Structure 1
Amino acid sequence: MNKKLICTAPLAIVAALGLYACGGNEVTKPDISSVKNIVVIYAENRSFDNLYGKFPGANGLQNVTAASAKQLDRDGSVMATLPPIWNGLTQTGVTPAVTQAMTANLPNSPFAIDDPNGFNVPFTQTTRDLWHRFYENQMQIDGGKNDKFAAWADSGGLVMGYYNLNADKLPLWKIAQQYTLADNFFMGAFGGSFLNHQWLVCACTPVYPNADTSPAAGSISAVNPDGVSLQVASNSPASAISGPPKFVKSGNLTPDFFAVNTMQPPYQPSGNKPASGGDTTLADPSNATTLPAQTQQNIGDLLNNAGVSWAWYGGAWGAALSAAQSGTSGVIYGANMSAPNFQPHHQPFNYFAGYAPGTTNRSTHLLDGGLAGSEFIKAIDAGTLPQVAFYKPQGNLNEHAGYTDVQSGDQHIADVIAHLQKSPQWNNMVVIVTYDENGGFWDHVAPPKGDRWGPGSRIPAIIVSPLAKKGFVDHTQYDTTSILRFITRRYALPTLPGLTARDKGLTANGNPSMGDLTNALDIVH
């Protein structure tokens, strides 16, 4: 292709040929201004080793030694075997069914859940859920040794399970091989989905003012003087082989009133009903798990101030909101969501006063992703996505252990990416696919020590774009806040306080600052 054609060719063709748009008299790479659309797809609850431990070229299970994978008991001794998987590996009434008794005496090492000579449970089958909570995650990480995942779990040996996957099995694996897989990407905060969604949008931890005199007073955790571990109850089994641990109080709040485990939004759709006779657009504030509206600055506020278009597309948001408004029992309220499978605590902007019911911000930016992402896909196909788009798949399509399998969500996300690749906006798009947290699954890489809140365990992240490096494994240190850093850099936004605090914490502990994902792109830096 001659220089004139190179200069006028669409960016996708130029990138496919390994060529770049022209500047002056020489062929040059594009810069970050070539990015016109950023799409973030946020799945659920998988560690890097759990899904990508066998990925070629990545820091995976081939780098794990028998000694480094050994799990310690609660007293610090090496366990002879892993604990049983409490209550069984799989749901009852399914085939194959793996009961608790069948999991006794597992070797003290990682194991393949889908091993045909072992449990032979495919990644198309739902396995039981695991603890993924703020203090428990830190106790499992054990200062970076990652050797007490089984000790401080409610699922016993399941924490050490992974899948033997490849491009022929896992749809996103094939996409990761084509573009960039980040193998040094950590969850932004310790613990679970609620807190990590907050870190995705504001790099901040929610607060519950005056919690000790509030309905949530009983949710304040009993924490040891080290500030990172829970007080163990006197009747807790001494050994993990004997049963899950018991704590004095593993609550949703820290002793200084930060919300770190699952709290419900103050606005519908929420996991809590409206107060009797109260405003039906609100959640009952007298419920101990209803979080007061938050006022911290978030990425949506910064984008609004800069005139950058954006939206959060919640899968099944419209159906969930309709159910909440009609008071449909069992659809929203309670832990066991049904049709639609929707988790209110996965909708982070619904916690902020600036996006309350009746506001323009809410109607403009909190959009219905549709059942199975149908509304989001319509916007993709029409080429009408805003400059920054977040997509949260509904529960049965997000890969969360306990209520869905790996394959369903993985295939769904791959299908969404296929639509994005055909979108009129694709040529200038960067898509980031990652997981909110590890779901309690072990990973062998020590998280870099940062600040009080994280980062936590390592999770997968894939960067998909015409601008992405092809067939590349990116070893740059990233975490969930790297997504905010990338958005901030692209649109020259002010830096959120949490990003500054995270880098200060990393530096103070001898670690580099977090990357902003640009190393995954073949652009001028």
Structure 2
Amino acid sequence: MLSRKIKYVCVASAGMLAAAVLGAFGPGPAAQADLEVGPRGGPPSSTATPIKHLVVIFDENISYDHYFGTYPYAANTDGTRFRASRRTPWNNNLVTAHLLRRNPNLYTPQRLSHEQASTCDQNHNYLPEQKAANGGRNDKYVENVSVDTCTGLYGSPGLTMDYFDGNTVTAMWNYAQHFALSDNFYDTIFGPSTPGAVNLVSGNTHGVQAVTPDTLQPTIDPSAVVDPDPNGIGTMIADPDPAFDDCSNKSHTATNNLAVMHGVNIGDRLNERNVSWGWFQGGFRPTTVASGSTPAACLTAHPNLAGASVVDYSPHHEPFQYYASTANRHHLPPTSVGAIGHTDRANHQYDLTDFAAAARAGNLPAVSFLKAAQYQDGHAGYSDPIGEQHFLVNEINLIQRSPQWSSTAIVIAYDDSDGWYDHQSVPLLNGSNSPTGNDYTYCAAAAATVGMAGGYLDRCGPGPRLPMLVISPYAKRNHIDHRQLEQTSIIKFIEQNWHTQAIGHGSFDARATPITSMFDFARPDYSRLLLNADGSLQRGRR
């Protein structure tokens, strides 16, 4: 072991499916303007808890130990000073597990300073992450996922092992001090961004089909779909762009095959109950508006902390665009602020500016999903924790100032770990024995012991441990929740709170525990915790 100092699913024939895919794009811009505004079929259902508004902020690529490895102990040598409450409860991290100085990996974890926030992106693919976890021993990270050098960003040997503390991710630590943090929340399966996003909204990465980018004809492409059945329907373990999105393939400058998801997502279930909802993403508003045969383009960009220009919108981070039923192919805006969350031409898919407009108008949908523009989403390589913190503070301050704060819960969760080291694993709940070699030995063994939900391959998990916080008047205060949760626990809470049907068809919502244990509905605290851009306390709870 070396230590070091830090240096600078429906099945159809191929023909039927092609017709369905082509027809599912729906009406063009003019026709879509005539679609219904507002809920269909009556008032929304009541909720099972006092939570009337759920806002899920879904950020990118962080393991629990990468942000909370020494919580609540910060070095206070750089960045923003952090002071912890003496009543901070125990959590399972690098300090309490005694893994900072003695670690089974090739390198020991090292603190990343505030000045080293822009780092290389680690390998976070489906199979390498399984090998890094090594059957739950979590001792093969350096060999399998560490990316130590890259252009213009910080890197050092064994970078995957390293972590930030409360002097850089100050907002995250302050939210944990005053609300509820889970130290036992997991990626539903191993792998990168899109599987995590799809699991957030459906709990099922099976049911994907590759289609050509021009005619949307079904095709075979292992970069989009693995282990397909005779109809070409298989599982997603990578990041193909969605078929139902004009801005896919870098706004038409690339020619990669696209992906269609079959089956049901939580948006469909909310529509069935006439519950308002929406996905809000940075850069969704197009720079070129769709017109006739000309598709929309999404090319707005911002500089990141390292000075590089980053396109705001990432199609493969928008899970509802993979489903014909919930897609807004042309990125059409809502017909009015009052229509946000309801079914009109936007079909529940919006720009982040639409969320701000709804919040200021006191018109929050019942369920909202927020996705930052890429330069602020936290993904190493093109974003960083400082940009991410600016986004989080801005959105959470906005929500707390809205008239609906008293009935709102905010969840901060992540799509995957980026390959950043985390010392904690849980026993596999779903195995897979891919005939094409996508699964490591212990995932293959688990297929025989715990089985494969729905009989679907390539969904081994739970994967790496991720951060998750709940911010709400009803969140337990300065609380560490130890109950085992995962990405689909958020779906489970939505289903139970708004009385929807389960997703079904092998969805992991069937196994997931809801996030209810992070709330105390008997003792709400309606005060606000407003933060400055650097994560320090502005005013509110002390």
**Do Structure 1 and Structure 2 share a fold, with TM-score over 0.5?**
yes
Report the equivalent of 2:313. Answer: 342
TM-score norm. by structure 1 comes to 0.68
User: Quick one: which of 355, 377, 386 aligns to 2:326?
Assistant: 355
Secondary structure of the 1:447 match is coil
Aligned to 1:34, the other structure's residue is in SS state: coil
Aligned residues: 394
CA distance in 1, matches of 2:127, 2:522: 41
* Partner secondary structure for residue 387 of structure 2: helix
Residue 320 of structure 1: how far off its partner (Å) = 5.7
Q: 1:520 aligns with which of 518, 521, 541?
A: 518
Q: 1:208 to 1:378 in 2, by over 3 A?
A: closer
Match of 1:411 among 378, 383, 390: 390
Correspondence for 1:62: 95
Q: Over aligned residues, Cα RMSD in angstroms?
A: 3.2
8 Å contact from structure 1 (residues 185, 477) kept in 2: yes
Aligned to 1:368: 351
> Are 2:141 and 1:158 aligned?
no
Aligned to 1:255: 227
5+ residue gaps, structure 1, are: 1-30, 72-81, 83-107, 115-120, 221-250, 276-282, 504-512
The corresponding residue for 1:40 is 56
Q: 1:210/1:112 Cα in 2 relative to 1: closer, same or farther (>3 Å)?
A: closer
Partner of 1:24: none
Distance 1:408 1:501, change over 3 A: closer
Counterpart pick for 1:297 among 264, 273, 286: 264
Change (3 A) 1:433 1:70: same
Kindly report which structure 2 residues correspond to 1:115-194, keeping only aligned pairs within 5 A, or say none.
122=115, 125-153=117-145, 155-156=147-148, 157-165=158-166, 170-194=170-194
Partner of 1:53: 69
Deviations for 1:116-163, whole angstroms, at most 9, x for unmatched residues? Answer: xxxxx635x311111111122112111111111111125151110111
Provide the secondary structure at the position in 2 that maps to 1:297: coil
TM-superposed CA distance for 1:330, in Å, is: 9.7
The one of 401, 417, 424 equivalent to 1:438 is 417
1:304-334 Cα distance to aligned partner (Å, 9 max, x none)? 00111111111121046649946588979xx
Whichever residue aligns with residue 439 of structure 1, its letter is: D
User: 1:109, 1:498 → 2: CA distance?
Assistant: 43
CA contact 2:210–2:258 (8 Å) conserved in 1: no
Look up the match of 1:113.
Answer: 112
Deviation at 1:267, TM superposition (A): 2.6
Change (3 A) 1:306 1:422: same
SS at match of 1:386: coil
8 Å Cα contact 2:202/2:266 also seen in 1: yes
- Secondary structure, in 3 states, of the residue corresponding to 1:412? helix
Shift of residue 173, structure 1, vs aligned partner: 1.3
SS of the aligned residue for 2:249 comes to: coil
1:501 and 1:350 map into 2 onto residues whose CA distance is 20
After TM superposition, list the pairs within 5 Å mapping 1:320-335 onto structure 2: 322=289, 325=295
* C-alpha separation in 2, matches of 1:423 and 1:435: 24
Conserved? CA contact 1:198–1:206, under 8 Å: no
TM-score by length of 2: 0.66
The separation in 1 between residues aligned to 2:508 and 2:119, in whole angstroms, is 37
The residue number in structure 2 matching 1:316 is 283
- Is 1:198 the counterpart of 2:170? The answer is no
Which residue matches 1:473?
A: 480
Distance 1:470 1:321, change over 3 A: farther
Give 5+ residue unaligned stretches, structure 2: 1-46, 73-89, 149-157, 229-233, 303-307, 333-342, 432-458, 524-542
Measure the CA separation in 1 of the matches of 2:322 and 2:509: 22
User: Matched residues, percent identical?
Assistant: 29
Question: Is 2:70–2:95's contact at 8 Å kept on the other side of the alignment?
Answer: yes
Q: Partners of 2:111 and 2:413 in 1: how far apart?
A: 22
Pairwise CA distance, 1:273: 6.3
- Give the counterpart letter for 1:468 in structure 2: A
Structure 1 Cα separation of the partners of residues 68 and 492 of structure 2 = 25
Whether the 8 Å CA contact 1:268–1:321 is kept in 2: the answer is no
State how far apart, in whole Å, the 2-side matches of 1:471 and 1:290 are.
44
- What amino acid sits opposite 1:308 in the alignment? V
CA 1:419 to 1:366, structure 2 compared with 1: closer, same or farther past 3 Å? Answer: same
